[in-house]
Amino acid sequence: MAITMANDEHIVKTWAYGRVKSGHQKTSAEILFTNKRIISVSESKSARDIDEVPLDTVNTISFHKSGCSPLAKVLSILEIIVGVPFSVLIFGIFMIMDGVRRIKSGEFSLDITTKGMPDPAISIGLQRGKLQKKAGKIKVWIDKNVVDEIGNEIGALYLSNR
């Protein structure tokens, strides 16, 4: 289901930054930047969450991204090494998978505040492999290249479209 645009509104950029899996449910997560709004959409077969901010009400755009710490990488490598001898057991496979996930994990956040409101109107982020959403913490797989693009481009898009 597509987002309806106003008569003089058009999409400037779309970022599909993540896939979320909670139980048997799969959800996609994306940000749409139009010439009038910034829209955050999370969508699955049974649910859809939309947060939007008109560009003329944006006060601040804050972006943060960091990788896995060196200590966490060392501990993850040790977890993988310990898991290899036990890989014939399900326990060992889970240790290896968890070690790889930890190495690949990092964190990012995007907060967009509006004029006169103390809390962010849009707040998305990933922290140590968990997506922070209003409903709670769920596993998410992000595309790190897309997250880099968001951080590099969203401020310039905002300035050129307001």
This model's pTM is above 0.85? no
Looking up residue 51, the CATH number of its domain turns out to be 2.30.29
* 2 part of a folded domain: no
* 74 part of a folded domain: no
Each residue of 93-126: pLDDT tens digit? 777 766 666 656 566 778 888 888 877 888 776 6
Each residue of 32-68: pLDDT tens digit? 999 999 998 887 777 788 888 999 999 988 888 776 6
- Could you tell me the residue range of the domain that residue 36 belongs to? 11-67+105-161
Q: How many domains does the chain have?
A: 1
pLDDT band (50, 70, 90) for residue 69: low
pLDDT of residue 62: 87
Bridge pairing between strands 130-133 and 122-127: antiparallel
* 22 part of a folded domain: yes
Encoded tokens for 73: 């990488």
Instruction: Say how far apart CA 100 and CA 86 lie, in whole Å.
Output: 16
